[in-house]
Amino acid sequence: PNFKVDQAKRVPKNIILMIGDGNGLTQISSTVLANNGELSLTQLNSIGFIKTQSADDFTTDSAGAGTAIATGQKTNNRAIGTNKKGATILNLTEILSEKGFYTGVITTDEITGATPSSFYAHRTDRGMVAEIASDLKISKLKLFISQPTKTVKHIEDAGFVMKTDINTIGASVDEKIGAWFNHSNENVTESNVQKLALATKNGISYLNKEKPFFLMVEGAKIDSYGHANDIKGVVTESISFDRAVSEAIKFADEDGNTLVVITADHETGGLTIPQGNVVRHEIEADFTTHDHTGTMVPVFAYGPMSQEFQGVYENNEIFDKLLKVLKISVKK
């Protein structure tokens, strides 16, 4: 980052929100210490912490946390875009679309996964996959990129022009675009580690037209390896996520009018790192659980008004802070 517009006191045009699923402070520490002591993420100056508790549980799931970030309201575990009583709540893509923003979601999970679906769907349970998939058709999204899902046919009928090569998305003039990671025709020379960065770069290029844009990017597999207590997978996926962060920061530097916010929905695995070797890029890991934990997770921000994201606060306040810096008011 060149920091030329970091913490500038002006309204940003674009928002890039990045969520490392399960990416707690120790996951970030492990990746930093395995990567010569630095990431793009750890060079940023505006840093805070969020508390992740859901409305009905000390330890949140991805649905409760994703919905809190996307809608500004704490809700029950398993709820997607609905409040504690099951009623629909407006999310960021819906609110910002009404204000003229182009919106998109990129995830290494399925598009019907708990975190990405919180930004377009409204269902009382994350297990309602077919219903969540049907919500994509009436969503405000202009772009999605995700892993293929069992409901592919349903999703491919949702009005998106489906692309077989992520490299072609950036220059596309189609009204709505969708793409699957790991499609059989996709460029096989791209490593898995680089794919999220490639999708992020092309997604930004596609959305960056005359209108402002909002893009949510999720690195979902950090969580998967946390559940499996696999430290090599955690570090590898965290590197993949950080490369996507690099693309967002590079664009923010070039554009000069984009706010990038990077956080997590929760920590996964109760990870500790009692020993390691920085020179040999070795991390000794202990996990205390195969599930999520209730620990706070970091928030990093870069660009105009990034200073608003410093401090310690509840996860649903990210929504409030994003609308505040954009000078958009909504009734809750």
Instruction: Spell out the residues 6+ positions from residue 178 whose beta carbon is closer than 8 angstroms to its own.
Output: 111, 143, 144, 145, 155, 156, 158, 160, 161, 162, 163
Residue 26: give its domain's CATH number. 3.40.720.10
pLDDT digits (tens, 9 = 90+) for 108-150: 999 999 999 999 999 999 999 999 999 999 999 999 999 988 7
CA atoms of 145 and 164, how far apart (whole Å): 11
Number of domains making up the chain: 1
Split at pLDDT 50, 70, 90, the class of 193 is: confident
Q: Average pLDDT, whole number, for the chain? A: 94
Residue 190 has pLDDT above 50, yes or no: no
Average pLDDT, stretch 234-240?
96
Question: Does the residue 331 lie in any domain?
Answer: no
- 287, 288, 293, 297 alpha-carbon torsion, rounded to 10°: -40
pLDDT of residue 148: 87
Question: Does the residue 3 lie in any domain?
Answer: no
Least confident of 3-17, 152-166, 312-326: 152-166
Average pLDDT, stretch 282-306?
98
CA atoms of 329 and 218, how far apart (whole Å): 26
Question: Does the residue 9 lie in any domain?
Answer: no
β-sheet bridge partners, residue 261: 17, 301
Average pLDDT, stretch 175-201?
76
pLDDT digits (tens, 9 = 90+) for 254-279: 999 999 999 999 999 999 999 999 99
pLDDT of residue 332: 66
Instruction: Spell out the residues 6+ positions from residue 54 whose beta carbon is closer than 8 angstroms to its own.
Output: 60, 61, 64, 65, 68, 74, 75, 76, 77
E strand or H helix that includes residue 154 = helix 152-156
Average pLDDT, stretch 181-187?
55
Identify the CA nearest to 316 among candidates 72, 28, 44: 72
What residues make up the domain containing 103? Answer: 14-326
Average pLDDT, stretch 235-258?
97
pLDDT of residue 157: 82
Question: Does the residue 263 lie in any domain?
Answer: yes
pLDDT digits (tens, 9 = 90+) for 73-107: 999 999 999 999 999 999 999 999 999 999 999 99
Question: Does the residue 133 lie in any domain?
Answer: yes
E strand or H helix that includes residue 282 = strand 282-287
Residue 183 has pLDDT above 80, yes or no: no
Question: Does the residue 6 lie in any domain?
Answer: no
Residue 188 has pLDDT above 60, yes or no: no
Question: Does the residue 83 lie in any domain?
Answer: yes
Question: Does the residue 2 lie in any domain?
Answer: no
Least confident of 55-69, 180-194, 290-304: 180-194
Phi-psi region of 265 (alpha: psi -120 to 50; beta: other; left: phi over 0): alpha
Split at pLDDT 50, 70, 90, the class of 295 is: very high
Residue 181 has pLDDT above 80, yes or no: yes
Residue 189 has pLDDT above 80, yes or no: no
Q: By the 8 A CB rule, do 169 and 145 touch?
A: yes
Average pLDDT, stretch 302-321?
98
Q: DSSP string of 214-272?
A: EEEEEE-HHHHHHHTT-HHHHHHHHHHHHHHHHHHHHHHHHHSSEEEEEE-S-EES-EE
